[in-house]
Amino acid sequence: MTLESEAFAAGASIPSEYTCEGRDISPPLRWSGVPAAARSLALIVTDPDAPDPAAPQTTFTHWILVDLPPTDGALPAGVTADRLPAGAREGTNDFGRVGYGGPCPPVGRHRYFHTLYALDTTLPSLRAPTRGALEQAMAGHVLARAERMGTYQKREAE
């Protein structure tokens, strides 16, 4: 299974449009190679370098999607809850809100992992899950995973 974005190459800088310094919209994503046995997909976007990459203390969650259709597919830039595929839902990020919250690192260059999971089940009981609740529900159900990592560092104040 693969996960790609036309907005940034693997390991490259995420354009500011997708961050708190820009429009703070989700980047476009495209995936393929979903296993035939998959019943749903889940996406988690995290920053393991919070708050400071020199001394990380936590993994910060920026976006959660559950029950995406188990087919090759894509999400456009700036997708909103009402534009998600039928049945898909957003989870609660570490900003304390449901939906996407873009990179906004307080210091240094952080890594942002977009991880897509193919699951052998659906998760209809999860309404707006946190990453912990989703990870617990996914345990033992992951058939495959794909990842796209980008980086971001805030512009220096002038």
CA 41 to chain centre: 12
Sorted by where each starts, the structural domains of the chain and their CATH numbers stand as 2-152 (3.90.280.10)
Tally the residues of the chain: 158
Contacts of 98 (CB under 8 A, 6+ apart): 81, 90, 91, 92, 128
pTM for this predicted structure: 0.96
Interior CA angle at 117 toward 8 and 18, to 5°? 30
Give residue-wise pLDDT tens across range 8-57.
999 999 999 999 999 999 999 999 999 999 999 999 999 999 999 999 99
Give how far Cα 80 sits from Cα of 59, 101, 108, 132, Å: 24, 12, 29, 23
- For 92-126, the pLDDT digits (tens) are 999 999 999 999 999 999 999 999 999 999 999 99
Q: Which residues, 6 or more positions from 57, have their beta carbon under 8 angstroms from its beta carbon?
A: 50, 51
Tokens of 132: 């912990």
DSSP code, position 108 = S
